[in-house]
Amino acid sequence: MTGEVFGDESGRAPDFVEPVCGWRTWLVVQGYDGVRLASVSFPALWPRRQRLCAQCGRGFHNGSGPPLRAEHRAPALDCSCGIYAARTLDRAAQIADCATARFRDCLGRPVLGAALGLVSLWGTVVECAQGWRATYAYPARLHVIEPSGGSPRSHAASAGELAVDLRGYGVPVDALGGYSPREIGWLLEADPGSAPGRAA
């Protein structure tokens, strides 16, 4: 985290003092030191009990065309960088639907399953039509999903086993085995305590 500046670099007061809370899907992978969360769309492992910090080294808008800026602090309004979260569970569940079926390994490590859940976002936050991009993130609540799709894999674990292993993140974790991500969405959206958004 060397060289990071927390908060607004201009030194002005922050706009809010409560994190944004949105929905995400993670892959659950076997790390060197136990079971870890990993991003679905980018090879990043989420550290336990440490915030994840976004950095943008691409300087490209949407990954194509000329670079807008050689480098910038993530997230930038005119880039696609940052740590993502969706405003609705349904959007995150769309990814969970295929995550465990599509990904067999991540960063050279076996994918054991997937998790849907809430994530706290803070730092610079770009609010988008259906979600947010932010500088910093940490899981707030995890719901582990049974591995799905294809033939059974030798390294597949039950949602209950993965939920126990993910307790190292220090946030509430439960197993929702036997339900599809869509069904889990219906269950969780019935829980008023799971509503995402900015709680300022």
Partner 1 sequence: MEIGAPRRTYEIEPLEEPVPDVPAEEPTVSRPSEPDSAERAPDLVPS
* Cβ at position 72, least distance to partner 1 in Å: 12
Q: How many other C-beta atoms are found inside a 10 Å radius of the C-beta of residue 82?
A: 24
Q: Which two tokens stand for residue 11?
A: 């030194």
Is residue 2 at the binding interface for partner 1, with CB under 8 A as the rule?
Answer: no
| Interface with partner 1 in residues 32-71 (CB under 8 A) | 32-33, 36, 39-45, 47-58, 62-64
Binds partner 1 by CB under 8 A, chosen from 73, 98, 102, 128: 128
| Interface with partner 1 in residues 138-197 (CB under 8 A) | 138, 140, 168-171
Q: Which amino acid is at 155?
A: H
Q: Phi and psi (nearest 5°) for 145?
A: -110, 145
Q: Which stretch binds partner 1 (CB under 8 A): 23-31, 151-159, 175-183, 189-197?
A: 23-31
Q: Phi and psi (nearest 5°) for 89?
A: -65, -35
Residue closer to partner 1, measured from CB, 49 or 152: 49
Among 11, 10, 17, 45, CA closest to 31: 45
Q: Which amino acid is at 4?
A: E
Residue closer to partner 1, measured from CB, 21 or 162: 21
